[in-house]
Amino acid sequence: MDQYAPLDAPQPSADGGNGGENAVAKTLLWIGVAGLSAALAYTVVRSFVARRPADETSQRIQHLIDEANTLLKTLDDKKHT
């Protein structure tokens, strides 16, 4: 080993190659791991943010909408009878 070569410099492999293919494969692997981690984190954060606590006003409004839809359906049925 050359005394002036940096310690982290790639060392030639036994078959004479420089190991560049291994470095590319490792880089692509870590990019894939990072991408998968980011997608998982995004999904988890989005699921927690999307949930809003149900308050009394929202429940009351939904109940009134459901009741109005039922009344409209009843009127429509009577109209066609």
CA pair distance 76, 81, nearest whole angstrom? 9
Chain centroid to Cα 42, Å, comes to: 4
For 2-52, how does the pLDDT look when each residue is reduced to its tens digit (9 = 90+)?
566 566 666 655 555 556 789 999 999 999 999 999 999 999 998 888 777
CA torsion through residues 73, 78, 79, 80, sign? positive
pTM of the model: 0.42
